[in-house]
Structure 1
Amino acid sequence: MSNPAASELPIVVLDAIAPTESRCHLNRRGSAVWDVESDGSRYAVKLGYPIEATDEWSAQPWTALAPAREGHILFKLGLKGVLYGEWEQGTWNIQPWREGPDLHDLWKPVRKEGSKVEPHLDVALSCAQALADLHRRGWAHGDVQPAHFIVGLDTTYLIDLALAHGQWVPDGYDFAYRGCLVHYEAPEISRAILETGEAVPTFESDVYGLGASLLMSATGWRAVEYPDDAPRSVQRQAVADGKRRHVSAPGKLGPLVDAMLSHSPSDRPTIDEVISALS
């Protein structure tokens, strides 16, 4: 559900960035993203707003805080050009725009029926390196999925850090971690959320998420078996129970991804071991 108020850039953002061109890239489920040019540079502007309750979804007030939380994390990581603050319905951030296809789009030829194209290991390596860089800085991403790896000409960017954990976040912008897109959620995360409603993302759960992302991007199949229209709780129970599909990534990537998707966190390779295997 989109928010009409987020279909225009707030005055506070206009004052901060003074755009020469802008277009709304998306506006749905608590977040709007704008593609903005200013002073010859290109930026992503994110607006967060609360999700109201419906017959299918409970209210989600945390989405209003997500842009400022991400802005704080990006600032702590030393990313230049980052600003964040508050607007009348939530928070916002400004960050550099990342140009390029995401992992899932890039590997579309690999998924084509009858294709003999194997996934490029250098792309998988670049994704692992981007995740490893975040881990070395003390953060677990918490929302690893194919759409969050933007494969540029020279660099692969890991975006959408609003759910990252590992270091201090201001209380006014912080919120409990309640999981991510279940297709890429590690069993221990799903289990904790089913039992307590909350979890804490880890480096090990990120490795699982990367493995699930590589599998989905290379094959079109998610790692765990459950009905497409299953409720979120049923999906999580299948993940927690380890109901793996009988599908592997093609070529040399297969055994590594299978290891990354191990049910027990201690059985998964570290991100440095993933990099070593891909190198």
Structure 2
Amino acid sequence: MTGSGPFEIPDHIPVTSTSQRLVLNRRGSTVWDVETSAGRVAIKLGYPSQTHAWTALAPAREGAILQELGSSAVTYGEWDHGTWNVQPWHEGTDLQELWTSHRTRGGLADPPVRDALACARALAELHDKGLAHGDVQPAHLILDAEPTRATLIDLALARGVQVPEPFDFPYRGCLVHYESPEISRRVLEDGEAVPTREADVYALGATLFMAATGWRHVEYPDDASRPEQRRAIVNGTHRLVNVTGMLGALINDMLRYHADDRPTTHEVCKTLEQAAA
């Protein structure tokens, strides 16, 4: 165990900062927002967490995926406690924060359809490139206001391109609040699973529901263990989708229990485009 961080940026990472700000330190990841003479970048440092060793490899795995997707500005490598990557900073606000003023618990949420459409388009673009994200959640969707567009970040768990063997690791699920029943079932049975586009659609539905209402899509105690959370997803039904209009109906379709019953990302986009017109 290397400790809980946050960790300073190692000297050998090829970035000369003019200023830096700690953004995040949790679950085996320290993230810095760094200003350089060439622009603003994010620097991610991975290290073993209290529950997972793979978090140390996640930044390099993400860096390799981003390079395969054509991001020439991304670099990655190893440091004393794990791996790192440097990537362009994405301006904007994450979906959970952006919808704070629209969110209501127990009432009828009515968030902007254009934001949901931007998120769906970002996921559809990734799917069109042959990848499944594997970790769709509100914090991983960054939205710009003008024009409304979304960037899907944190691709460390994605599948669909070759990753160098030293930095690869099995997929053992994601933040359980957004897991589909089939992913939760496989993790409970086998300890690992394979991300799919259908599971991403389910996760996007759970993401929109969480951002709009503040509730997890499946009910379980806040202190429930991860196996208990997954069993609730596998055995239970999701909460009533109390989001108004077409968006609520669409979220309900995205949260269908069986993968084949869910719409594709392009079908989700088409429905949202019609509503936004």
* Common fold: TM-score over 0.5: yes
Structure 1 gap ranges (5+): 53-57
Q: TM-score, normalised by structure 1?
A: 0.92
Where do 5+ consecutive residues of structure 2 fail to align? none
Change (3 A) 1:205 1:5: closer
User: What is residue 70 of structure 1 aligned with on the other side?
Assistant: 62
Q: Secondary structure at the match of 2:161?
A: coil
Provide the C-alpha distance between the structure 2 equivalents of 1:4 and 1:264, rounded to a whole number of angstroms. 39
Q: 1:239 to 1:115 in 2, by over 3 A?
A: closer
Aligned positions of 1:151-230 closer than 5 A? 151-153=143-145, 154=147, 155-230=149-224
Distance 2:215 2:237 in 1: 13
Structure 1 residues 39, 115: closer, same or farther in 2, change over 3 A?
farther
Q: Tell me the CA shift for residue 4 of structure 1.
A: 6.4
The equivalent of 1:55 in structure 2 is: none
Change (3 A) 1:67 1:256: same
Q: 1:4 to 1:62 in 2, by over 3 A?
A: closer
The CA distance in 2 between the partners of 1:17 and 1:43, in whole Å, is: 9
Tell me the residue number matched to 1:122. 114
Alignment match of 1:243 (pick from 237, 247, 256): 237
Q: Secondary structure at the match of 1:238?
A: helix
Letter in 1 for 2:10: P
TM-score (norm 2): 0.93
Q: Quickly say closer, same or farther: Cα 1:114–1:208, change in 2 above 3 A.
A: closer
Number of aligned residue pairs: give it: 271
What is the one-letter code of the residue matched to 2:49?
A: I
Q: What letter matches 2:138 in structure 1?
A: P
Using a 3 Å threshold, how does the CA distance of structure 1 residues 129 and 65 change in structure 2: closer, same or farther? same
Q: Deviations over 1:49-83 (max 9, x none)?
A: 1124xxxxx4x110100000000001111124101
Q: Give 1:228 shift.
A: 1.6
- In 2: Cα distance, 1:204 partner to 1:176 partner: 19
> What CA distance in whole angstroms lies between the structure 2 residues aligned with 1:273 and 1:165?
22
The reply to whether residue 135 of structure 1 matches residue 133 of structure 2 is no
Q: Spell out structure 1 runs of 4+ moving beyond 3 A.
A: 1-6, 112-117
**Equivalent position of 1:29 in the other structure:** 27
* Deviation at residue 97 of structure 1 after TM alignment: 0.7
Report the aligned-residue RMSD. Answer: 1.8
Choose from 99, 103, 107 the match for 1:107.
Answer: 99
**Shift in CA distance, 226/114, structure 1 to aligned 2, threshold 3 Å:** closer
Q: Which 10-residue stretch deviates more, 95-104 or 114-123? A: 114-123
Q: How far off its partner does 1:5 sit?
A: 6.0
Give the structure, 1 or 2, with the largest relative contact order (CA under 8 Å, sep 6 or more): 2
1:187 deviates by 0.3
- TM-aligned CA distance change 1:117 to 1:264, over 3 Å: closer
In structure 1, give the amino acid aligned to 2:135. Answer: D
Indicate the percent of aligned positions where both proteins have the same amino acid.
56
Shift of 1:38: 0.9
Deviation at 1:113?
A: 6.0
> Which of 50, 67, 87 is equivalent to 1:95?
87
Q: Summarize the Cα distance change of 1:99–1:207 in structure 2 as closer, same or farther, 3 Å threshold.
A: same
Aligned pair partner of 1:147 in 139, 153, 159: 139
One-letter code aligned to 1:217: A
Instruction: Report the equivalent of 2:269.
Output: 275
Separation (CA, whole Å) in 2 of partners of 1:224 and 1:116 = 18
Query: Shift in Å at residue 147 of structure 1?
Result: 0.5
Q: Which residue in 2 is equivalent to 1:12?
A: 12
Q: Once the two structures are superposed, what CA deviation does each residue of 1:100-140 show, in whole Å capped at 9, x if it has no partner?
A: 11111111111146987721111100000000111111110
